[in-house]
Amino acid sequence: MRKAIKYLLVSTFILSFVEIGYSIPQFARKYGVTCFTCHATVPKLNAFGNAFRRNGFMLPGTSDPTPVWQQDVLPLSGMPHPMYMRRNITNNMLTSTTNGIPSGKTLHVDTFNSAFELYSGGTAGDHLSYLAFLTIHVDPEIEAGGEEGGDDHGDSGSSGSNVASIGTHLGTEFHQFFIVYNNLFSNSNTGKMNVRLGFFHLDIPFMRLRKLTTEMSPNLVYNVMPVNGGFNLDRRQLGVSAFGGLGSMKLRLDYEVAIVNGTNNLLDTNEDKDLFIRAAINRNDRLRVGMLYYKGNQNIGGGSNLSVTIDSFTRFGYDVTYNLPRGASVFGQWLEGKDDDIDWVISGDQPFEYTGGFIGTEFPLSVFSPQNRLLRKIWLAGKYDFMNVSKQIVTGDMMVDNMLATNTGNQNEIKMYTATLRYYFQPNVFLIVEKGFQDNLIGYPPLDDMTDGAASGAAGRVLDVDADWFMLMFVLAF
Amino acid sequence: MKTQIEIFSRRSTAVFIRTISVTSITFILSISAFSQEFAGNGMSNEQSKENIAKGRGVYNTSCSYCHGLSGKGDGPAADFLIPAPRDFTSGEYKYRRTPSGELPTDWDLFDRITKGVHGTSMINWADLPEEKRWQLVYYIKTFSDKFKDEPDRSVINVGVPPEPTIESLSRGREFYIDAECWKCHGLSGRGDGPSADELKNNKGEISIPRDLTIARNYGRGSSQRAIYLTLLSGLDGTPMPSYQDAFEDMDEELWDLVNYIYSLSN
C-alpha cells in the first residue's frame, strides 16, 4: 500500500509538469487560415508565426484594435492529450537510493494520464494583448509499477513486487498568464519593442513548448537545480520583460531583457530579483545565432527565513539553429552554469559548476520525397543532451572525478538520447511516440524531468542511476 | 457518354427565349452587382516611385515570410504551405477578373490582399491600412517584367446569377459530368476525383482540388459570381483550366454549372 501511494505521488508530481507543445487554433479560426500559416508543424513555429508572436498575436505590420470580447471568434482553444508511458529506472549505485530502489534493481512504472489544456489569447486594443494558458490535470487514472532484476552489488535478486493503483487526481494550474504592451515606441507594428508583465516563459532559445521532443526529454542543461532550489531556466517566471526584434527578416536582432522572481512559482523565496538577457541574430530566418545570460539568487534553505541559505548562480550559453529547406532544422545549445552553494545541508558553501548542452534535429520525412503526401504527415525529432559536472566541489574539495562513495566509479557525465516520431492525422490531431534513454541522473528520484535536485540530499551530484522511457500520446487541438 | 454538342443541341426554345428576355435586365444589374463584389472605389494613391518604395517596406514586414524577399514564393515559412505561396516573378496569378493568360488588374491584386484566399494560408490583410495595401500592389508588380509596359487587360463581365431552379441544377449536374469537373473534384464534389492525387501546379508542386462541398474552402469565395469568375478565368498556374472557350456564347449553361457547384456547398 505504501508503495502504491509512493508511485501515485511520484507520478502525480511528474505528470503535473508534463507540458506538451501547443498551438492555438483560436488564431487560425480568427484569421480563417490553416495551422501552417504559423507553424512548420504543430507546435514548431515558422518565421511567420514568430513574427505574429512578436507583434502581440497580430499580423506582422498590422494592429488589431478590436478587443477580443468584441470579436466574432470565441477566444478559447482546448487541447486534451491522453498519454501512456512506461519508465524503467535502474539503480546502478552501490547502495539503495534515498527513495527506495535497491541497488541493482530496476523499477518499472506504467502510467496512464490525461490532461486538458485551455488557451486564450488575443488583443485588448491597439497595443495590448494577452495570453492565458490553463492546464487541467486528471492523473493518474491507472498506474502500475514493480521492481525486478538481480543485484549486481551483493544483494539477492528479486522479481517484481508489483503494485497497482487506480485513482484520480484533479488539479488546475495557470501555466502562463501575461499581458503585453506591443510596439512601445513605434507604430510599425513589427514588434520592435514590447513589454510584458505576468507569468510567462522567458525567451529561451529552445523553449520547452515548441520543441518536437516531449517534456519527458527536457533540455537538461536548463534544468539543473540545487537542493531545495526552485528554479528551472525554461519554466514560467513571474516578472516583467522587454522583448522584440530589431531589423528586418534579412537581418534581425531578437532580444529579451527580463526581471523575474526566479522561482517558477508565484511566490518568491528571497528578496532579490533575477536578471535574464537574451540576444540572437537572425539571418533570413534561416540561421540564428544567439546567447543567453541569467543571473539569480535562490533560497535553498527550505525554511521560513528567506535569508538563511542563498545560492547565487549564473547560466551563460550560446545557441545556433539552422533551418534547412523543406522544413528540416538542426540546432545546438552550449551552456555553462555556476552555483556558489548547491547544498544547504552541508555546512559552508558548496560550489558547483557544469557545462553541457544538446544537439538535435527535427525534420519531416518528406525531405526525402517532397511531394509525397504521406511522408509530409510524419515528423522525426532526435536530441542528444550532454552534461559534464567534473568541476563539482563537495565539502570544499575539488572533485575532478566524481567519486561519490555511492557510485560504482567515475560518474562525471550525464547523457540523454531521445527519438520522437509524430504522425499528423491532421495538423491539429496527432500521435506522438517517443523513446528515450538517460545515462546517469542528477539527484534522485527522477521527479519532474529527472533532474529535480530538490528530491534528494544527493541533488546536484551525478548519480549512477539510468532511466529509459517509452511514451505514446494522442493530441487533439481545437 | 453524351457529348457537349449533343447536350447543347437539346436546348429548348423556351430556354432560348428566356435567355433573351433576361439578358437586358442582367446587363443592367450586373454593373451594380459587379461593382459591389469585385470593383473597388478607385485607387487611393498613385503608382509612384515613392509608393513602390513604401510598398517594399510593407512587403518585407508582412509578406516576405512566405513569398520571400525576392518574391519567388520561397520565404522561410513557405516550406509547408499548400498551395505554395505565389511566385510573383512569374507574373502568373490565379485570382483575376481577366481572361486566362492575362495579367491581373491592380484591383485584382488589391482585392486579393484585402480578402485573402480562403482555405489557404493567405490571410486577409484588411487590417493593413488601405494606403499600404495599394503600395503593396505597386511593389508586387515590380517583381515581374510582364507588368513593365502595363499591357491592356480586359475584364470578364460577370452577370447577375439566375435563380438556381431544379432544372438549372439538373442541367448543371450534366455539365459538371461532361466538362469532367468530377475527374478532379469528384462526383460528389469532395475533391476526391480519380485525378486528385496526381495534380501538380506549373512548378511541379502538389495541387489539391477544392472540396466543393465546403463553402469556406473556395479560394475566391463561394458566391455564384465568384464561381462564375473562376470558371471563366481559370486559375492560372494550376490544373484548373479556364472554361471560357468551352462555354463561349453559352452564358446560361455556364450559370447552370455555376448553380450546381454553388448548390454543393449550400
Q: Are B171 and B18 in contact (CB under 8 A)?
A: no
**Separation between Cα atoms, residue B170 and residue B7, nearest integer Å:** 12
Q: Is residue B139 part of a domain?
A: yes
By Cβ distance, the residue of A62, A249, A326 closest to B79 is A326
How many other C-beta atoms are found inside a 10 Å radius of the C-beta of residue A424? 18
Please tell me the predicted confidence (pLDDT) of residue A14.
Answer: 43
Q: Does A323 contact chain B (CB < 8 Å)?
A: yes
Domain shared by B33 and B103, yes or no: no
Domain shared by B163 and B259, yes or no: yes
Q: Place A407 in a pLDDT band, splitting at 50, 70 and 90.
A: low
Q: Is residue B153 part of a domain?
A: no
Please tell me the predicted confidence (pLDDT) of residue A345.
Answer: 61
Query: What mean pLDDT, rounded, does chain B reach?
Result: 83
| Residue in this structure with the C-alpha cell 550525464, named with its chain if needed | A414
Q: Is residue B42 part of a domain?
A: no
Angle, alpha carbons A191-A192-A197 (nearest 5°): 65
User: What is the average per-residue pLDDT within A211-237?
Assistant: 82
Domain containing residue B79: 49-147
Please tell me the predicted confidence (pLDDT) of residue A270.
Answer: 75
User: What does residue A26 show for φ and ψ, rounded to 5 degrees?
Assistant: -55, -40
Domain boundary among B83, B113, B147: B147
Each residue of B133-183: pLDDT tens digit?
Answer: 999 999 999 999 999 887 888 899 888 888 889 999 999 999 999 999 999
Domain shared by B253 and B207, yes or no: yes
Q: How far apart are the first and last CA of chain A?
A: 40
Contacts of B60 in chain A (CB under 8 A): 248-250
Domain boundary among B96, B116, B147: B147
Q: Place B47 in a pLDDT band, splitting at 50, 70 and 90.
A: confident
Please tell me the predicted confidence (pLDDT) of residue A450.
Answer: 35
Q: Does B128 contact chain A (CB < 8 Å)?
A: yes
Domain boundary among B147, B176, B204: B147
By Cβ distance, the residue of B65, B118, B200 closest to A249 is B65
Domain shared by B175 and B239, yes or no: yes
Domain shared by B184 and B105, yes or no: no
Cis amide linkage into residue B83, ω under 30° from 0? yes
Each residue of B4-14: pLDDT tens digit?
Answer: 545 444 554 44
Domain shared by B188 and B260, yes or no: yes
**Separation between Cα atoms, residue A379 and residue A183, nearest integer Å:** 35
- In chain A, the residue whose alpha carbon lies closest to the alpha carbon of B70 is A250
Nearest-CA distance B16 → chain A (Å): 42
Computed from CA positions of residues A403, A404, A405, A408, in that sequence, does the dihedral angle turn out positive or negative? negative
What's the structural domain count of chain B? 2
Domain shared by B21 and B74, yes or no: no
Report the percentage of chain A scoring pLDDT > 70. Answer: 73
Put simply, the chain A residues between 235 and 294 with a CB less than 8 A from any chain B CB are 248-250, 284-286
User: What does residue A383 show for φ and ψ, rounded to 5 degrees?
Assistant: -145, 140
Nearest-CA distance B126 → chain A (Å): 9
By Cβ distance, the residue of B65, B118, B205 closest to A47 is B65
- Per the model's pLDDT, the better-predicted residue between A40 and A143 turns out to be A40
Nearest-CA distance B65 → chain A (Å): 5
By Cβ distance, the residue of A46, A326, A373 closest to B77 is A46
Q: Which of B201, B85, B74, B63 is nearest to A325 (CA)?
A: B74
User: What is the average per-residue pLDDT within A366-376?
Assistant: 83
Please tell me the predicted confidence (pLDDT) of residue A391.
Answer: 58
Q: Is residue B71 part of a domain?
A: yes
CATH number reported for the structural domain that contains residue B83 in this entry: 1.10.760.10
Report the percentage of chain B scoring pLDDT > 70. Answer: 83
Task: Tell me which of A136-150, A255-269, A326-340 is least confident.
Answer: A136-150
User: What is the average per-residue pLDDT within A261-278?
Assistant: 83
- Per the model's pLDDT, the better-predicted residue between A339 and B111 turns out to be B111
- In chain B, the residue whose alpha carbon lies closest to the alpha carbon of A49 is B77
**Separation between Cα atoms, residue A405 and residue A380, nearest integer Å:** 40
Please tell me the predicted confidence (pLDDT) of residue B1.
Answer: 42
Domain shared by B208 and B141, yes or no: no
- Per the model's pLDDT, the better-predicted residue between A140 and B195 turns out to be B195
Contact B128 A62 (CB under 8 A): yes
Nearest-CA distance B240 → chain A (Å): 19
Domain shared by B138 and B224, yes or no: no
By Cβ distance, the residue of A36, A61, A190 closest to B121 is A36
Helices and strands counted in chain A (H then E) = 3, 26
Please tell me the predicted confidence (pLDDT) of residue A365.
Answer: 93
Nearest-CA distance A51 → chain B (Å): 9
Task: Tell me which of A243-252, A325-334, B17-26 is least confident.
Answer: B17-26
Report the percentage of chain A scoring pLDDT > 90. Answer: 31
pLDDT value at A220 more than 50: yes
Q: Is residue B100 part of a domain?
A: yes
**Which spans in B46-101 are helix H?**
49-62, 64-67
Nearest-CA distance B236 → chain A (Å): 20
Dihedral through CA B150, CA B156, CA B160, CA B163, nearest 10?
-140
Domain shared by B67 and B137, yes or no: yes
User: What is the average per-residue pLDDT within A100-113?
Assistant: 78
Q: Is residue B260 part of a domain?
A: yes
Q: Is residue B23 part of a domain?
A: yes
SS3 B137: helix
Please tell me the predicted confidence (pLDDT) of residue A111.
Answer: 80
Query: What mean pLDDT, rounded, does chain A reach?
Result: 78
Each residue of A285-339: pLDDT tens digit?
Answer: 899 999 999 999 887 765 555 446 778 899 999 999 999 888 899 999 999 998 8
- In chain A, the residue whose alpha carbon lies closest to the alpha carbon of B207 is A371
By Cβ distance, the residue of A34, A58, A63 closest to B120 is A34
Interface test with B, best of A31, A62, A365 (most B CBs within 10 A): A62
Domain shared by B84 and B175, yes or no: no
Contacts of B200 in chain A (CB under 8 A): 371
Please tell me the predicted confidence (pLDDT) of residue A401.
Answer: 40
pLDDT value at A398 more than 70: no
Q: Does A187 contact chain B (CB < 8 Å)?
A: no
Contact A371 B205 (CB under 8 A): yes
Nearest-CA distance A188 → chain B (Å): 9
Q: Are A133 and A175 in contact (CB under 8 A)?
A: yes
Distances from the Cα of A246 to the Cαs of A196, A329, A382, A440, B64, in angstroms?
17, 23, 32, 42, 16
By Cβ distance, the residue of B62, B82, B127 closest to A64 is B127
pLDDT value at B34 more than 50: no
Domain shared by B239 and B209, yes or no: yes
Q: Does B224 contact chain A (CB < 8 Å)?
A: no
User: What is the average per-residue pLDDT within A135-156?
Assistant: 56
- In chain B, the residue whose alpha carbon lies closest to the alpha carbon of A252 is B61
Most distant CA atoms of chain B, gap in Å? 59
User: What is the average per-residue pLDDT within A94-99?
Assistant: 60
pLDDT value at A97 more than 80: no
Q: Is residue B44 part of a domain?
A: no
Domains of chain A and CATH, by start:
2-476 (2.40.160.10)
- In chain A, the residue whose alpha carbon lies closest to the alpha carbon of B74 is A325
